[in-house]
Amino acid sequence: ILFAFVAGLSIFFPGMLTHIARFFGIGRGTDLVLYGLIVSFLVYMATTYQRFRHMETTMTKLSRRVALDEVNRRQSPAAAARAIAAGTAPSESGSNGTATG
């Protein structure tokens, strides 16, 4: 929001932006706006990447949880407990004990 406000002010007061740019060692005010835009875009890309990574991790955990719940729902509680304790993936079986596929 601050960047948009400064960019808007630079339209009405271009001399003020040039003075600010010279303070930072940049020749023109428009170059200062361009540099600010580049930095803002890079920050936006980095935060978006982090947000998507977090969302992907959350979705993976959720998918694993749903898969385990589905398997546990389809078999007896005792068989599910044994499979979890053994650290193996429980086998999927139908209601009559035969494998489904």
Q: Which residue has the tokens 């407990």?
A: 81
Residue 63 inside a domain? The answer is yes
Q: Which two tokens stand for residue 72?
A: 């546990």
Domain count, the chain: 1
Gap between the Cα atoms of 33 and 85, Å rounded: 60
Is residue 7 predicted with pLDDT exceeding 70? yes
Q: Which residue has the higher pLDDT, 93 or 29?
A: 29
At 71, which amino acid appears? V
Q: What is the pLDDT of residue 94?
A: 47
Contacts of 66 (CB under 8 A, 6+ apart): none
pLDDT digits (tens, 9 = 90+) for 68-79: 888 777 766 677
13-68 pLDDT per residue, tens:
888 888 989 999 998 888 888 898 899 899 999 999 999 999 999 999 999 988 88
The backbone torsions φ and ψ at residue 92, rounded to the nearest 5 degrees and listed phi first, read: -85, 125
Q: Which structural domain, as residue segments, surrounds residue 30? A: 2-86
User: With bands split at pLDDT 50, 70 and 90, how would you rate the model's confidence at 6?
Assistant: confident
- Is 46 inside a domain boundary? yes
